[in-house]
Amino acid sequence: MPGPSDADNEAPESVGVSRRDVIRSALTATAGLSVASVLDLNAARTMAQPRENASSTDRPITFERVAARAEDLARAGYRPAADDLPAELAGLNYDGFQAIRFRPEASLRLGPRFSLQMFHRGGLHAKRVEISLQSPEGGVRPLAYDPSLFDLGPELQGRRYPASLGFAGFRIAHTFDAARPDDHEEFLVFLGASYFRLRGRNQTYGLSARGIAVDTGLPSGEEFPDLTTFWIDEPRADAASLTILALLDGPSLTGAYRFTVTPGDSSAVAVETALFPRRRIAALGLAPLTSMFLHGENGPGVRGAEPFDDFRPQVHDSDGLLVQTPGDRLWRPLVNGRPAPQISAFRASPLEGFGLLQRERRFAAYLDVQARHEDRPGLWVTPQGSGFGAGAVRLFEIPSRTEATDNIVAAFVPEAPVEAGRPLRLGYALATVGAEPSPPLARVVSTRVGSAERLRPSNPPTPQRRLYVIDFEGPGLPDDPTADIAVALSASAGAFVEPYAERVPQTGGWRLYAEFRPPDPWPAGDVVLRARLAHAGRVITETWDAVA
């Protein structure tokens, strides 16, 4: 079970993405890393200064310079990172890596409100990333590794490594409370491939974002490009935002990124990227999100799935996918328990936004004092500029029996394959989501499924009949329990019968009961179900979308 110190990140496995429990940090009651109650600024400057082999330059690094470097790199063949990690570091298990700690007194201040720590290489985190700081005046200072920056733990005590070892990644902390300027909490982590994690104030780490996804779910196998080089701009004065430039490299493409990060109650990242494909890419996932869903209010979620013997009613970092288009707002509850991975596609042309969200916010729904799933944020993607073009949001769900596996991936995939030598530029905003603000349509807040025989018995009993119970809450729902509610239902196979909607006085919402009678025989693949409510000729709810 994840403990109260989880700040874990993700890394690829053969069929999906496994949570790497290797960033585990001591979290405060607000679930952020407490860097230090008071940072020793002089010690930080001394220990994190560039070392002898790290040259500096006065020429500023700009996004366009990084893009030019990525374009030049794309013209050359891909060269994998050198396998140069010392054997004792490469062989570290989880506990051994966990024991390596960055020394708090070495934390480097980035202006008055931000601070920086680096991650040691070792175990799963074998690849080296280059990290440089850029002053407001434009001077660039590469940060070189020094073992004195770290407490290496008992397994590596007394070891010394050269400056060329480098770092595996970094984390950034921020003072959320202006009255306590020296009290920094971690809110952003870059570690592994192109993964990064973000949290807002009073939120705990949950799902991850990625710079890019390549061929997720395809038989050819997924590729995981790496963010190899970072330039962190030191903010001016009391700036509320921080800018990070990054270079991406992988077998199929290179890229330049600008992340403009603004922490807060809802933390936000403005992402700008220029991508340079080396080959034709069948499924390029833009603004990808990766999460975990083990079981929820409707159980594992698919027919025939084995139930979980778990004292906790629900275990998930996200419970649904939301897709917003000009004509619709669609909610798909996540499921687990399929016999094989499954891809679902939701056409969105144009796409206004999508996200993996955690809508269930009650502690009683999880009963996990340590994991605090109720405080884990959702992430919402909003395309900027000319948008993402024609395409679909793809949801990839991987069967899982353990919460240590991130088994959910969502990304926007362009309709046309990405061709070699044709650059792609785009921008989007990424924001953490806690309790959602009221949308114009009432939202789906729960989906429950059970035997229709319990409330509507038949003679003889028919176990295949299933009763779907869907709760809607939010603005626009009538208060009058006698209101004439129109129910729109559809199934790609089989049929819904005798739908019934009633007001729920305990919540002020409305509940839809719908009995589903499956086809005989079942078709191959999923049966897609949809429902929404209307009143007085106007749609008043999101579209509920599920699989039977």
List CB contacts of 432: < 8 A, sequence separation 6 or more.
198, 199, 200, 203, 266, 267, 268, 377, 378, 379, 380
- What are the tens digits of pLDDT across the range 290-330? 999 999 987 666 777 788 889 999 999 999 999 999 989 99
Could you give the CA distance from residue 125 to residue 148 in angstroms, rounded to a whole number?
19
pLDDT for the residue numbered 57: 57
* Cross-strand bridge partners of residue 258: 245, 272
Contact 374, 359 (CB under 8 A): no
Give CATH for domain 443-547.
2.60.40.10
Least reliable range by pLDDT among 100-109, 177-186, 211-220, 222-231: 177-186
**Domain ranges within the chain, ordered by starting residue:** 9-49+56-213+224-433, 443-547
pLDDT for the residue numbered 524: 82
Contact 395, 335 (CB under 8 A): no
Contact 44, 107 (CB under 8 A): yes
pTM comes to 0.88
Could you give the CA distance from residue 100 to residue 125 in angstroms, rounded to a whole number?
12
> Across residues 66-86, what is the average pLDDT?
94
- What are the tens digits of pLDDT across the range 205-232? 999 999 999 999 999 899 999 999 999 9
Q: How far apart are the first and last CA of the chain?
A: 30
pLDDT for the residue numbered 301: 67
- What are the tens digits of pLDDT across the range 248-274? 999 999 999 999 999 999 999 999 999
Count of CB atoms within 10 A of residue 429's CB?
16
List CB contacts of 58: < 8 A, sequence separation 6 or more.
138, 139, 140
Tokens 């049929």, residue located? 495
DSSP for 51-65 reads: -TT---BSSPP-HHH
Q: In this structure, are strands 509-517 and 495-504 parallel, antiparallel, or unpaired?
A: antiparallel
H/E stretch holding 46 reads helix 41-47
pLDDT for the residue numbered 50: 43
- Residue 48 reports pLDDT greater than 50: no
CA distances from 1 to 26, 312, 318, 483 (A): 16, 11, 17, 46
Average per-residue pLDDT for the chain? 87
- Residue 34 reports pLDDT greater than 70: no
* Fold matches, 9-49+56-213+224-433 and 443-547: no
pLDDT for the residue numbered 337: 87
Contact 508, 473 (CB under 8 A): yes
Residue (of 352, 344, 355) closest to 328 by Cα position? 352
List CB contacts of 500: < 8 A, sequence separation 6 or more.
512, 513, 514
* Cross-strand bridge partners of residue 467: 450, 515
Could you give the CA distance from residue 279 to residue 68 in angstroms, rounded to a whole number?
18
The class of domain 9-49+56-213+224-433 in CATH terms is mainly beta
CA atoms within 13 A on the CB side of 296: 26
- Residue 11 reports pLDDT greater than 60: no
Which segments within 250-341 are labelled E, that is strand?
253-262, 268-277, 284-291, 293-295, 315-316, 320-325, 328-333
pLDDT for the residue numbered 33: 45
